[in-house]
Amino acid sequence: MIWLIIAVVVGLIFAPAMWLRPSPRQQRTMTLREVAKGEGVQVRLAASPRHQDDDKWPAYRWAYPPRRPGPDFMLLRDAEASDALKPFVEGWRWRKEPLHELPRGVREDFEALLARLPADTLAVESSAEALTLWWGESWEAQAFRPMAHGVGELRDGLAGRPDRPERHTEPKAPRA
């Protein structure tokens, strides 16, 4: 009987520690995010790109160089988009289309990347600051690396193609 009481007490002591231990999915996600950070990708939880959705989604951001901003656009999976939105390629629709047409090589790279993205990818967004991939983090870290390189190459192709170029003002001549 004493051994049973000791076992229950020891179980009660270690039970909270077991509850705090990350689940296998949480461990996989932490590893994935560490690999992403090692690849130079910023990972954050942000408001979902879906309309009227208060959920937080993982946003993987590839920053544009400071002096080479990117175009503004958002591309959604068909499953998340209205049929009223303009199609880009099979399975994807523009919520916000870039003002300038993408060069042929960049467009081909973009289309190839979209075909390789995981099924849980919700959106691909670009702003002047970063190219962002919204997805459910379904892949293992090893599968993420090639995708990260592909998105990085797309970011490099889009860099320096802003929809709103900065206005450079000429310095005023000093008054005589």
List the one residue out of 116, 115, 120 whose CA is nearest residue 138: 120
Question: Is residue 15 in a domain?
Answer: no
pLDDT at residue 15, rounded to an integer: 66
* Angle made by CA atoms 34, 36, 38, in degrees to the nearest 5: 70
pLDDT at residue 170, rounded to an integer: 46
Question: Is residue 19 in a domain?
Answer: no
Question: Is residue 108 in a domain?
Answer: yes
Question: Is residue 68 in a domain?
Answer: yes
Beta bridge partners of 105: none
Q: Which residue has the tokens 């990972």?
A: 43
Q: What are phi and psi of 9, to 5 degrees?
A: -65, -45
Classify residue 105 by burial, with Cβ atoms within 10 Å: 0-12, 13-18, 19+: exposed
Q: Quote the DSSP letter at residue 81.
A: S
Question: Is residue 89 in a domain?
Answer: yes
Of the pLDDT bands very low, low, confident and very high (cuts 50, 70, 90), residue 63 is: very high
DSSP E strand boundaries for the chain: 42-47, 56-63, 73-77, 86-87, 92-96, 121-126, 130-135
Asked if 62 contacts 151 with a C-beta cutoff of 8 angstroms, the reply is yes
Question: Is residue 7 in a domain?
Answer: no
- Cα–Cα distance, 20 to 88 (Å, whole number): 45
- Count of domains forming the chain: 1
| Domain ranges, residue 47 | 25-158
Question: Is residue 5 in a domain?
Answer: no
Q: Is the pLDDT of residue 24 over 90?
A: no
Asked if 145 contacts 60 with a C-beta cutoff of 8 angstroms, the reply is no
Give the model confidence (pLDDT) of 140-156 as tens digits. Answer: 888 888 888 989 999 99
Question: Is residue 8 in a domain?
Answer: no
pLDDT at residue 18, rounded to an integer: 64
pTM of the model: 0.78
Over residues 2-15, the mean pLDDT reads: 76
Give the model confidence (pLDDT) of 76-107 as tens digits. Answer: 998 888 888 898 989 999 999 888 888 899 99
pLDDT at residue 168, rounded to an integer: 43
| Average pLDDT for the chain | 83
